[in-house]
Amino acid sequence: MSRIELAPEIGEDFDRILEHPDKFDGPDPSTRIAEIVPAISVLEHNPLIARPTKNDLRELIIGHGAQGYIALYRYVPEIDAVFLLAMLSQREAGYSRL
């Protein structure tokens, strides 16, 4: 089973994601977290499930549309670890801090 580690900046990403429903009358934060956490947990058993991108990174698609997210991560097979680097809404444009 692969270990999942979160980059420190992930907290900022979750703050931004959870602020969104307050602004646009969307689902409550606990509902969003309840969708995101199990999807990320899939990486423990299937770290290569997501689509590959540049620089050995992968993008895990979670949900769709206004309630969809993308988790950017790197899998390091030598130590069997997934490093979650960023989370964003599918409607956001790129990973601004990367």
Q: What is the residue-wise DSSP string for 24-36?
A: HT---HHHHHHHH
State the Cα–Cα distance between residues 40 and 37, nearest whole angstrom: 5
Report how far apart, in Å, the C-alpha atoms of 48 and of each of 17, 55, 57, 80, 97 are. 25, 14, 10, 11, 24
Q: What are the pLDDT digits (tens) for 51-88?
A: 999 999 999 998 866 668 899 999 999 999 999 999 88
- The reported pLDDT for the residue numbered 92 is 65
- The reported pLDDT for the residue numbered 93 is 55
Domains of the chain: 3-89 (3.30.2310.20)
pTM of full prediction above 0.75: yes
